């Protein structure tokens, strides 16, 4: 898998998990959904993605 695939999978997992937690645990979990969405939006415009940096450092996944 490429770096983009990992990032999309992780973003989707975070969104689904926070939606489930927001529904069953506390509505404050919806803030995590908003954070992930804002991060994806800023990444589209700036090209900077914190998750990409984290994956590179932790698992040595190459960018391309």
pLDDT tens sequence across 13-63: 999 999 999 999 999 999 999 999 999 999 999 999 998 888 888 887 776
The pLDDT tens digits of the residues spanning 49-59 come to: 998 888 888 88
Residue 35 CA neighbour count, 13 Å, CB half: 10
pLDDT score at 64: 63
Residue 23 has a pLDDT of: 97
Kindly report the number of other CB atoms within 10 A of residue 21's CB atom: 16
Q: What is the mean pLDDT of residues 3-8?
A: 89
């Amino acid at each position: 898998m490429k770096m983009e695939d990992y990032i999309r999978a992780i973003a989707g997992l975070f969104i689904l998990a926070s939606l489930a937690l927001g529904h069953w645990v506390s509505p404050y979990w919806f803030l995590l959904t908003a954070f992930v969405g804002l991060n994806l939006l800023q990444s589209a415009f700036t090209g900077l993605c914190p998750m990409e940096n984290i994956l590179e450092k932790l698992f040595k996944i190459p960018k391309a």
